[in-house]
Amino acid sequence: MPILAGQATYRILDASINRATEGLRTLEEYARFALDDAALSGNFKSLRHDLTTAIGQSVDRQRLIEARDTPGDVGTEIREAAEYERSSPQKVIAAAAARIAQSLRVIEEYGKTIDANFAAKVEQIRYRAYQASASLELAAFTNQHTAQLAAAKLYLLIDGGESESQFVASIQRLAAAGVDIFQLRDHSLDDRTLYRRACVGAAVARKQGRLFIVNDRADIAVASGADGVHVGQEELPAAAARAIIGNRRLLGISTHSIEQAKEAVDDGADYIGCGPIFAGRTKQFDAYVGPEFLKQVTQSITVPAFAIGGIDQSNVSEVMATGCDRIAVTGAIRDAEDPVHAAKTLKRTLLSGTQTE
| 247 is annotated as contributing to ligand binding | no
From the list 110, 155, 182, 293, which residue makes contact with ligand LCLJCK34 (rule: CB under 6 A)?
A: 155
- Cα separation, 286 vs 355, in Å, equals 29
Strand, coil or helix: 250: strand
129 binds ligand LCLJCK34 (CB under 6 A): no
Nearest approach in angstroms of CB 337 to ligand LCLJCK34 is: 24
Q: Are 159 and 171 in contact (CB under 8 A)?
A: no
For ligand 3NM, the closer of residues 273 and 304 by Cβ is: 273
Q: List binders of ligand LCLJCK34 among 208-227 (CB under 6 A).
A: 215-216
The H-or-E segment that residue 272 falls in is strand 271-274
| 133 is annotated as contributing to ligand binding | no
From the list 201, 252, 280, 310, which residue makes contact with ligand LCLJCK34 (rule: CB under 6 A)?
A: 252
283 binds ligand 3NM (CB under 6 A): yes
Q: Return the one option of ligand LCLJCK34, ligand 3NM, Mg ion, none that residue 310 interacts with (CB less than 5 to 8 A, by type).
A: ligand 3NM
232 binds Mg ion (CB under 5 A): yes
From the list 19, 48, 99, 230, which residue makes contact with ligand LCLJCK34 (rule: CB under 6 A)?
A: 230
Beta pairing partners, 255: 274
User: Which residues neighbour 180 within 8 Å (Cβ) at sequence distance 6 or greater?
Assistant: 148, 151, 152, 153, 154, 155, 210, 211
330 binds ligand 3NM (CB under 6 A): yes
Q: Return the one option of ligand LCLJCK34, Mg ion, ligand 3NM, none that residue 309 interacts with (CB less than 5 to 8 A, by type).
A: ligand 3NM
Greatest pairwise CA separation for the chain in angstroms: 88
Q: Are 45 and 28 in contact (CB under 8 A)?
A: yes
What's the chain's length in residues? 357
| 153 is annotated as contributing to ligand binding | no
214 binds ligand 3NM (CB under 6 A): no
| 216 is annotated as contributing to ligand binding | yes
Q: Cα 289 to chain center, whole Å?
A: 33
Beta pairing partners, 228: 213, 250
Q: Taking CB under 6 A as the rule, which mask of x and - marks residues 299-328 in contact with ligand 3NM?
A: ---------xxxx-----------------
306 binds ligand LCLJCK34 (CB under 6 A): yes
The pairing of strands 250-255 and 305-308 is unpaired
| 215 is annotated as contributing to ligand binding | yes
Closest C-alpha to 96, from 16, 13, 19: 19
Strand, coil or helix: 217: coil
**Which residue type occupies 208?**
Q
- Cα separation, 254 vs 79, in Å, equals 50
Q: Are 93 and 136 in contact (CB under 8 A)?
A: yes
- Cα separation, 294 vs 147, in Å, equals 22
Nearest approach in angstroms of CB 193 to ligand LCLJCK34 is: 17
281 binds ligand 3NM (CB under 6 A): yes
Q: Are 308 and 274 in contact (CB under 8 A)?
A: yes
183 binds ligand LCLJCK34 (CB under 6 A): yes
328 binds ligand LCLJCK34 (CB under 6 A): yes
Binding-site annotation: residue ranges: 215-216, 235, 254, 283, 310
Task: Give the residues lining the site for ligand LCLJCK34 (CB under 6 A).
Answer: 155, 157, 183, 185, 215-216, 230-232, 235, 252, 254, 273, 283, 306, 308, 328
Residues that bind ligand 3NM (CB under 6 A): 157, 254, 273, 275-276, 280-283, 308-311, 329-332
The binding site for Mg(2+) comprises 216, 235
